Amino acid sequence: MTAGADASADTVSIPLDKKLEMYRMMLDARLFEEKAHKLFFEGLVKGTSHLALGQEAVAAGFAAAMRSDDLTFCTYRGHTHTLLRGADMGALMAELLGRGNGICGGKGGSMHLTDVSVGAMGSYAIVGAHLPIAAGAAWAAQARGTGQVSVVFFGDGATNIGAFHEALNLAAVWSLPVVFVCENNLYMEYTPIGAVTAVPNPAADRAGAYGLEGIILDGNDVEAVYSTATAALEHARAGGGPQLIEAKTYRHGGHSRADPGTYRPDEEVQEWLDRDPIPAFRARLEAAGVAAETLDTIEAESDAAVEAATEVARSGPFPDPANLETQVWADGGSSWRN
């Protein structure tokens, strides 16, 4: 069984165990978020939630290619990125439910998942804000000689806010080890990106302005993502400066919460459902000779992991109200005055 059998245009050959790891990652992400969606409709998810159903290949391809100490910066649509860097699934689910055993103690919720211990440096809910932050972290990595690369995921909508342009220029002029990854899912919240952007490829077409190459990628092809990510990470780690990648993808559902996404044409939704990255990858693995039972086992294990995580979350305690007055300052408290 070799990677040579796959149909992707990449040149890197991907070992089978890596492929199976990515298959598991995508299933973990998919089943985790499907469960989160159900829990939302049960009224258990506190606040809001933004699902990346359909976009799993981007997160999986990158997470599989990154070094364990590399840094991930993502948006409010960040369950998958945080999970696949290795954050504890039960603690993530508990955070969505606003429980005290959540990964942020129930203080942040779905939009603010963070686990510094696995390099998940935060989910940022202000569009574009985390791009300069990722550049700063890359500077720190470079200054400290750690060899880490900073990878920042953002939406198509983020390419029109000032911080995107400021960050690209900073990263380019300082030649920082940072990989900018635009997940172009064609929509901001409800408005199509094409309606408010001067160029057809909102990220890649801007690359030239900062002396970068605009890399366009099929974000639903996990092997292509993995190969591109591997090359970009190597380039950045070797001192070659930043990379800007635009991954074309699609969110299966609406923007957030209960949004059914009805502003999208049916044919468009169908076209992208047909390009669902998970069945596509499975078909490719089977065609290359991986036994169906192997893949079924992975699926069953993912399912069991999600069920266990859900139990951890459901049985978690709600934070003590007194918790509200903690952790604003380094002394652990919230007092404004002496």
φ and ψ at residue 204, rounded to 5 degrees: -60, -40
Under the binding rule (CB under 6 A), the answer on residue 188 touching ligand TPP is yes
Residues in 73-112 that interact with other proteins by CB under 8 A: 98, 106-109, 111-112
d(CA 106, CA 60): 26
Residues 40, 180, 187, 226: which binds ligand TPP (CB under 6 A)? 187
Could you count the other beta carbons within 10 Å of the beta carbon of residue 321? 7
Write the binding mask 236 to 275 for ligand TPP: x where contact by CB under 6 A, - elsewhere: -------------------x--------------------
d(CA 27, CA 298): 8
Residues in 212-251 that interact with other proteins by CB under 8 A: none
Choose the contact partner of 61 out of ligand TPP, other proteins, Mg ion, none; CB within 5 to 8 A by kind: none
d(CA 328, CA 325): 8
d(CA 248, CA 189): 17
Under the binding rule (CB under 6 A), the answer on residue 196 touching ligand TPP is no
Residues 3, 8, 20, 47: which binds other proteins (CB under 8 A)? 47
Query: How many amino acids of this chain bind other proteins (CB under 8 A)?
Result: 40
The position carrying tokens 């202000």 is 126
Residues in 100-129 that interact with ligand TPP by CB under 6 A: 125-127
> Residue 119: how many CA atoms within 13 Å on its side-chain side?
22
d(CA 153, CA 130): 9
Choose the contact partner of 116 out of Mg ion, other proteins, ligand TPP, none; CB within 5 to 8 A by kind: none
Could you count the other beta carbons within 10 Å of the beta carbon of residue 219? 29
Choose the contact partner of 77 out of other proteins, ligand TPP, Mg ion, none; CB within 5 to 8 A by kind: ligand TPP
How far, CA to CA in Å, does 171 sit from each of 176, 183, 212, 292?
5, 19, 10, 45
Residues 55, 82, 197, 228: which binds other proteins (CB under 8 A)? 197
The position carrying tokens 């893949």 is 295
Q: Helices (H) and strands (E) in the chain — how many of each? A: 10, 6
224-240 burial code (b ≥16 CB/10 A, e <16): bbbbbbbbbbebbbeee
Under the binding rule (CB under 6 A), the answer on residue 325 touching ligand TPP is no
Min separation Cβ 158 and Mg ion, Å: 8
Query: How many amino acids of this chain bind ligand TPP (CB under 6 A)?
Result: 14
| Region near other proteins per CB under 8 A, out of 131-139, 155-163, 211-219, 282-290 | 155-163
d(CA 327, CA 334): 6
Interface ranges with ligand TPP (CB under 6 A)? 75, 77, 125-127, 155-158, 185, 187-189, 255
Interface ranges with other proteins (CB under 8 A)? 46-48, 98, 106-109, 111-112, 125-129, 157-158, 160-163, 188-191, 195-197, 263, 318-319, 321, 323-325, 328, 334-337
